[in-house]
Amino acid sequence: MALPTNTFTTYSAIGNREDLSDAIYRVEQTKTPFLSACDKTKATAVNHEWQTQALAAAGDNFVLEGDDATTDAVTATVRLGNICQISDKVARVTGTQQAVEHAGRDDEMAYQEMMRGIELKRDQERALIGVNVAKVTGDGTTARKLASILTWIGTNDDFGAGGGASPTTLDGLATRTDGTQRAFTEAQLKTVLQLIWAQGGDPNNIYVGGFNKGQFSTFTGRATPTEETKSKKIVASVEVYEGDFSTLKVIASPNSRTRDCLILQMDMWGVAYLTGRKMVSTDLGITGDSARRQILSEYTLEARNEKSSGGVFDLTTS
């Protein structure tokens, strides 16, 4: 069917208004489950320190009637520390872009500041649980780095062969050695849960990557999907794992290493922010026809007692 002669169409028209929706659609993983679940505390120095205490081992305890009391040996506290790391994002918008009309946002600088803040929280999550990094004290040319969670966990773990091992020290100074990757099994999980229980820990959260969250859902009790006929819903996932020693929430973690399964007692982990330096937004000096804002956090990971937690490491990821 041919278009009639001299019919005026949108293809040749000049002046038709654009149709741009007044909304912006974003699809990204923005969850920071570890950072959100951690206790928030205060640091007052770049080297943030705390102490741990161990009890004497349980043993036979019987004494003679009327005997003189014997003073028991004292177990000293252990002093640990981590370095406050600075993470930032900077938004910069020209005067012209701030002045023109925008679709999907009223204030360009406010919008860019919000986006950089979301990105900064993701960077913090990655620094805490997504990298295998020892602490760096820093100097005039080297940035300070906090010791990530992988440098602290070692008493209760299960890892692959071929070089896999716990950090040689559990004070943030040594990194974990990655081993041969292997499939995630419930037996590995149970082994670590029993180790944690023997140390007196009571973990409540499990953090795994997307692939191993799927593997988790095949463990005993969820080997096959179940169908709820009334709601027309198929349930094939595990959100809570009830083991012999603990009941734990299973969380898919988008920013942790996909080869790790972290089993954590959350009240034994904290994020300490240097006083006045938690998600601070500051105007930077104007040097021309543009404005800049810096969003900044100075923070560190507080590993209050790693014996409360553990991990299954060196897992396959596909």
E strand intervals along the chain = 39-43, 47-52, 78-83, 85-94, 157-158, 205-208, 226-228, 233-235, 240-242, 247-252, 261-264, 269-274, 280-284, 290-303, 310-312
Q: What is this structure's pTM?
A: 0.86
CA separation for the pair 80, 52 (Å, rounded)? 8
Position 49 scores a pLDDT of: 96
Position 231 scores a pLDDT of: 60
Neighbours of 314 (CB within 10 A): 25
Cα-Cα end-to-end distance for the chain:
53
Which residues are CB-contacts of 88 (< 8 A; sequence separation ≥ 6)? Answer: 120, 294, 295, 296, 297
Q: Would you write out the chain's pLDDT as a tens digit for each of its 318 residues? A: 787 776 677 777 877 777 767 666 666 677 899 999 999 999 999 999 999 988 888 889 988 988 989 888 888 999 999 999 999 999 999 998 888 888 888 889 899 999 999 999 999 999 999 999 999 999 999 999 999 999 999 999 999 987 667 888 899 999 999 999 999 999 999 999 999 999 999 999 999 999 999 888 888 755 555 555 566 555 556 788 888 888 999 999 999 999 999 999 999 999 999 999 999 999 998 889 999 999 999 999 999 999 999 999 999 999
Position 5 scores a pLDDT of: 75
Position 254 scores a pLDDT of: 92
Position 170 scores a pLDDT of: 92
Position 226 scores a pLDDT of: 55
What residue segments make up the domains of the chain, in order of their start? 33-48+77-309
Distances (CA, A) of 238 to 172, 182, 192, 215, 259: 32, 21, 19, 10, 19
CB-hemisphere CA count at 13 Å for 233? Answer: 5
Position 228 scores a pLDDT of: 58
